[in-house]
Amino acid sequence: MDTQAPTLLETLTNQGITIGLNILLALAIFIIGRWVAGLLKKTTQKIMQRREVEETLTKFVGNLVYILLLIFVILAVLNRLGIQTTSFVAILASAGFAIGLALQGGLANFAAGVLLIIFRPFKVGDYIEGAGTAGIVEAIQIFTTQLRTPDNKTIIIPNAAITANNITNYSTKPTRRVDLVVGCGYSDDLVKVKKVLQEIVAQDARVLTEPAPQVAVSELGDSSVNFVLRPWVNAADYWDVYFDMTETVKRRFDEEGISIPFPQRDVHIYQHNTA
């Protein structure tokens, strides 16, 4: 009995020391790991803020980095304590897969929102066309983009629908070209018509000299000779110039006696003598 007691006591002491060390190491892993996770979270957010990434995405990515690292820290702590983590990993994987399937559409919109914010094909205030609609961008959020139409309606578009189609940004370039098609009759003097159109362009102070405006015959149509009128203007003046120039063309053509043909149909009536 005397020879067995020290051995049992020594065994218990060694086990106690081992368990105590494991607990201390696990606690140290948790404290240090949590500190590293917080540090990486702040570093990620600072990098994104320097690149002027939207605040919503910056906070979300920072929290996501922190949570993922904290999960790894907790698994390391459990492993240090001798707890099998294989089952935990399997449960997390299954839960992640199930959540991914349930939120498949939401995740697609989220991924598209991240791409929109990172690559910035447009920004708040731009006039764009995408996903079959057009308007001024009011907000770019994680899952949706909000547009305001010219008639003051709000349209909320899923981000995945925008990135899945062509995006036309009318505000990217400082200048735009106004494209007008003007028709005159075949009996009108083409030289005179061209001169009148060139005068209309030259008299508008909003038209830029570079690139030079273009006035040319573009088509010999079924009932008219069609001219293209292509002046360049500042993007902010586009619609004003478009509407004003359309009205000016009509008034000047009336003053100059130039006809603007419209579709016509000739009806011929034949009389047959049945007597």
Mapped onto helix, strand or coil, the DSSP state of residue 85 is: coil
Over range 174-197, report the average pLDDT. Answer: 95
Domain with CATH 1.10.287.1260 in the chain: 4-102
Q: Please choose, from the candidates 186, 196, 176, the residue with its C-alpha nearest in 3D space to the C-alpha of residue 261.
A: 186
* Segment 131-159, tens digit of pLDDT: 889 999 998 887 889 999 999 999 999 99
Domain with CATH 3.30.70.100 in the chain: 175-256
99-108, 117-126, 182-191: which range is least confident on average? 99-108
Q: Please choose, from the candidates 111, 138, 135, the residue with its C-alpha nearest in 3D space to the C-alpha of residue 124.
A: 138
Q: How far is CA 146 from the centre of its chain?
A: 10
pLDDT, greater one: 100 or 183 = 183
pLDDT, greater one: 177 or 104 = 177
Nearest-angstrom CA–CA distance, 109 and 103? 10
Nearest-angstrom CA–CA distance, 48 and 36? 18
Fold of 4-102: Helix Hairpins (1.10.287)
Q: What is the CATH number of domain 122-169?
A: 2.30.30.60
Over range 77-86, report the average pLDDT. Answer: 73
Query: Residue 1 above 60 pLDDT?
Result: no
Q: What is the CATH number of domain 175-256?
A: 3.30.70.100
> CA torsion sign, 243 to 247 to 252 to 257?
positive
Domain with CATH 2.30.30.60 in the chain: 122-169
Return the ∠ at Cα 95 (arms to 89 and 98), rounded to 5°: 140
